Chain A
Amino acid sequence: MKIFQWFAAVLSVLAATSLTQAMAKPAIIYDLAGKFDKSYNESAFSGAEAWKAKSGSDYREIELQSQAQREQALRRLAGAGNNPVVMTGFAFQTSLSAVAPEFPDTKFVIIDSVVDEPNVRSVIFKEHEGSFLVGYLAGLTTKTDVVGFVGGMDIPLIRRFACGYVQGVKAANPDSKVIQNMTGNEPSAWNDPVKGGELTKAQIAAGADVVYHAAGGTGVGVLQAAADAGIYGIGVDANQNYIHPGSVLTSMIKRVDLIVEESFTVGPDIPSGVFALGLAEDGVGYALDDYNKDLISGASKDKVAEVRQQVIAGDLMVHNYTDDDNCPVN
């Protein structure tokens, strides 16, 4: 009998410790494009890894394989006591709205979308401001006065990238023309480099000499086609300058990594609410490193820095497409 009591005691202690360990473990869910999309999700992954390296603790992760897994993944992580649960991507909006009330003690962090629940932290980026800067650079760089934009799936978020970009191009170079294309209307539009390459070739044929992509994995094809044709591509989300050194003009970076690292570091106590990060908060910006330092002249750099200050100070208003589902320039 005694041995049973002893055994039960050990078991309960074990259960308690494993429970608290699970409680402390943060978790992240990557969207369909996959953890290594060289872009958005990879940026989130590097944030999580940075936290792991600093804190020495571990986290849980799920890479989605299909649309149907969203709610299931959220419930599994929250149900297992993971806290906070971070997810990358606007596509989680409806799933999270359903799941968040079921787990009032768990903090959820959603990037790129707003879910109005007391235990959700919604982080959105002012992509129009970042895109404005790279558009400004494209406007300064183009020799043909034609630049291109290739979007992934045709959704308001990507139109926001496009609209900010066009405004930037026109601000630097009012006579220039921007060719805009979207890859498709389904999630597969994030993963179609062949079509991305074709779209880019079409834009190059129409005279474009700088092409900016906001298209996830499809963008790999955009940057490749740009490099093959000897024109400039512009990367997105993560710093993609290294992919084709010398032919990626710059990258519009979205600090998804910082959001993930911050959420993991603060843990379950992270405040809920809506947070919009723009140039002022260094949430977006353009990448400058060894790979593209020869492509951007000192004068251009100064001009972009000046424009950046104007946007931060509010002297220059960059229109946000999703405010009124409309873009003032084309």
Chain B
Amino acid sequence: MDFVTAVQTLDSMMRLSTPLIFACLAGLFSERAGIFDIGLEGKMLASAFFSAAVAALTDSVLLGLIAGLTASMALALVHGVASITFRGNQLISGVAINFFASGMTALIGQNLFKIGGRTPSLGDKGRFLPIDLPFSETLANIPLVGPLYSELISGHTVLVYFSIPTVILSWWILFHTRFGLRLRAVGENPEAVDTAGLSVSAHRYQAVLICGLLCGLAGAYLSTGMAAGFIRDMTAGKGFIALAALIFAKWRPGFALIACLLFGLLEAVAIRFQNIEIAMVGTIPLQLMQALPYILTVIILAGFIGKAIPPKAGGIPYFKER
């Protein structure tokens, strides 16, 4: 594998990791506050649909993004009401959101556009276009640094550039602010938070809404950044890969970034090198590459690389008094 191919693979990794990073951080906020969320997939899908649909109707990618974020946060609120206020089973609520999003997006899409639940292809104004950073043309010919700058760093959509700062911001919020401390406390020991005179419900609602916001970014990126339009069930399991990455990262933002980049890299490699020859071993089947994120997660869960301990109060509705 030559240098240019390697850089192009990393470039593809950045594109493929971005939705995983946003979705993984979304799960991080929610689960750190004690609300398990397997509805990441559904929220991404809803956002993907509404951002593409509104962008198609108004020809404005920003209005699309706002619509996508709103849709995702609305679903997050539903999850919040079900699991915080009504203390329902969080897994069931998440599954319901996934089914609901899958069905409703296709239904509304079919009614609006009459082309089988998809949206029309978006024009240039309706989607996030790659941004060429300054000097990427002139620097391209410099050996080593040139391709790194013009291929890997330049030429992504704006949401890709947002992803890594979002990781840093999440880390700072969760570990270096009072709000973050309380959020984590709500997920570990809600009684302590309650005794301190703070509202458990309010903090959990805030976490769930942040989760919705981040899922919305992931979904909008899928339909208006990576693709140019929405297709039925286009998230294709990315919400679940993000959950796997979250467990893999043991609920820590920095490791979440690494896990998402790793899963993105695996996908990029699988796309570029469909038959990988390794000396002495032979050809690695493509299926193995595609299954690797899940296999790695199982290995983590089995405790080979250390124990992944979820937030202590995760999944348990909080009862103030009985």
Contact = CB atoms under 8 A, between A and B. Distances in A.
Contact of A34 (B5, B116, B229): B116
Interface string A30-72: 0000111110001000000000000000000000000000000
Interface in B227-243: 227-229, 231-234, 236-237
A220 interface: yes
Interface stretch (A95-103, A184-192, A263-271, A296-304): A184-192
Interface string B124-144: 000000000000000000000
Contacts of A36: 114-118
Contacts of B237: 188
Contacts of B228: 224
B173 interface: no
Nearest to B8: A205
A304 to B, nearest CB: 28
Interface in B194-245: 222, 226-229, 231-234, 236-237
A37 B268 CA distance: 26
B231 A217 contact: yes
Given A194-B222, A198-B12, A205-B8, A35 B116 contact: yes
Contacts of B287: 185
A235 interface: no
B28 to A, nearest CB: 23
Contacts of A220: 118, 121, 227, 229, 231
A182 B231 contact: no
A199 interface: yes
Contacts of A202: 8, 12, 271-272
A185 B231 CA distance: 19
A199 B227 CA distance: 13
A186 to B, nearest CB: 9
A221 interface: yes
Interface string A183-213: 0110010011111011101100100000000
Contacts of B79: none
Contacts of A184: 290
Main DSSP-derived SS at the B contact region: loop
Interface residues of B, number: 29
A181 interface: yes
A188 B102 CA distance: 14
A32 to B, nearest CB: 10
Nearest to A36: B116
A244 B120 CA distance: 12
Interface in A233-252: 243-244
Closest 6 CB pairs of A and B: A36-B116, A34-B116, A36-B115, A193-B227, A205-B8, A202-B272
17 contacts: A34-B116, A34-B117, A36-B116, A42-B116, A188-B237, A191-B236, A192-B236, A194-B227, A194-B234, A197-B226, A199-B271, A202-B8, A202-B271, A205-B8, A220-B118, A220-B231, A243-B121
Given A191-B232, A202-B12, A224-B121, 7 more contacts: A35-B116, A38-B115, A185-B290, A188-B236, A191-B233, A193-B231, A198-B268
